[in-house]
């Protein structure tokens, strides 16, 4: 399986919800609520053609969506 670039929407350890690029130590942005974080993450994932994981409050995955460019 090839390594794909992924963004994650996850609970932030200091409160709120983070949007973070996979493998990165720091969040791109932190939001007060999950819906705002998801909207922002979708824009990033769409523009950068990456995958997006949305996590639940307990860290488990609730949804995966791929915005990767489809190969011809």
Residues at the site binding another protein, with contacts judged by CB under 8 A:
1, 4, 6, 8, 10-14, 20, 22-25, 51, 53, 55, 57-61, 64
Give the nearer residue to another protein in terms of CB position, either 44 or 51.
51
Residue 37: Cβ within 10 Å count: 26
CA distance 31 to 69: 28
**Ordered alpha helix ranges (H), 16-72:** 34-48
- Nearest distance in Å: CB 63, another protein: 10
- Nearest distance in Å: CB 35, another protein: 18
């Amino acid at each position: 399986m090839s390594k794909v670039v992924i963004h994650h929407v996850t609970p932030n350890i200091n409160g709120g919800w983070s949007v973070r690029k996979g493998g990165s130590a720091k969040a791109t942005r932190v939001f007060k609520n999950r819906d705002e974080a998801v909207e922002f993450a979708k824009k990033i994932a769409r523009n950068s053609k990456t995958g997006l994981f949305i996590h639940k409050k307990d860290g488990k995955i609730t949804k995966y969506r791929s915005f990767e460019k489809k190969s011809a």
